[in-house]
Amino acid sequence: MLDEAVKLENLPEVGGEPERRVRDRGATERAILAAAKGLLAEEGFQNFGINAVARRAGCDKQLIYRYYGGLNGLVEAIGADLGTWVRDRIPEDAGGMFLLTYGDLMERLSLLLLEALRNDPLMRRILAWEISENTEQVRRLSEARSKALALWLERMRGSLAPPKGVDAAAVNAVIIAAIQHLVLAAASGGQCAGLSLKTPKDWEKAATALKRIVRGVYG
């Protein structure tokens, strides 16, 4: 299917087929973006290049320049896609839970974020890069993810407010940092500070501890 789309992309202009060409371009763009994300997740920026992405996507590398303007444009597109990641993995509905307090909101966000990060190797890569690589590309991806998460929280909180005297920004940063470290430690060694993180029951323990911490601060 992709090969057919790429062939159509490279055909000269033919009268009477503009609608088909637009659809094929969209398919090719999505294939390139998926290939780029897969390559980053598996190999990181070290082997991330136009030729490698083109090979994985099964397309001519000129199409990457045409549609994304090159490697930097592709990184920008991946960053923009992180906003979709937050919307898809951390839905803006209550999931049957009544969000009556700020504590309810933060408990839901914490559990959803924990689950989402456990199931996304690219996002775990980005988290690891944030603390190990100070490059422009990493900063772009990190800022895009942080912005999307902050917007989610702003939209969901509505009139909900943290208890008086609680520095919610600082507390939330520590909670999110703890979640991220749990996930990274599990991926690299299957445990964190002596807590096994290999089985569903292990993760239930972690989730229960997380809820207790959130409720201890926010009620």
pTM of the model: 0.74
Q: What is the model's pLDDT at position 44? A: 82
Cβ atoms of residues 123 and 179 within 8 Å: no
Burial class (CB in 10 A: 0-12, 13-18, 19+), 32: buried
pLDDT tens across the length of the chain (219 residues): 344 344 434 434 444 444 444 458 889 999 999 999 999 888 888 788 999 999 999 999 999 999 999 988 998 898 888 777 777 777 766 555 677 899 999 999 999 999 999 998 888 888 888 888 778 888 888 888 888 888 888 888 888 999 999 999 999 999 999 999 999 999 999 999 999 999 999 999 999 999 999 999 999
Cα 48 to its chain centre, rounded Å, is 18
> Which fold does the domain 20-69 belong to in CATH?
Arc Repressor Mutant, subunit A (1.10.10)
Q: What is the model's pLDDT at position 4? A: 38
Q: What is the model's pLDDT at position 94? A: 53
Cβ atoms of residues 38 and 56 within 8 Å: yes
Q: What is the model's pLDDT at position 95? A: 56
Q: What is the model's pLDDT at position 93? A: 64
Q: What is the model's pLDDT at position 24? A: 83
Q: Tens digits of per-residue pLDDT, 163-183?
A: 999 999 999 999 999 999 999
Query: Which CATH architecture fits 83-218?
Result: Orthogonal Bundle (1.10)
Q: What DSSP assignment string belongs to 160-205? A: --PPTT--HHHHHHHHHHHHHHHHHHHHHHSEETTEE-SSHHHHHH
Do the first three CATH levels of 20-69 and 83-218 match, i.e. the same topology? no
For the chain, give every domain's residue range.
20-69, 83-218
Cβ atoms of residues 179 and 124 within 8 Å: no
Q: Which residues contact 205 (CB under 8 A, 6 or more apart)?
A: 195
Q: Two tokens at 124?
A: 């775990």
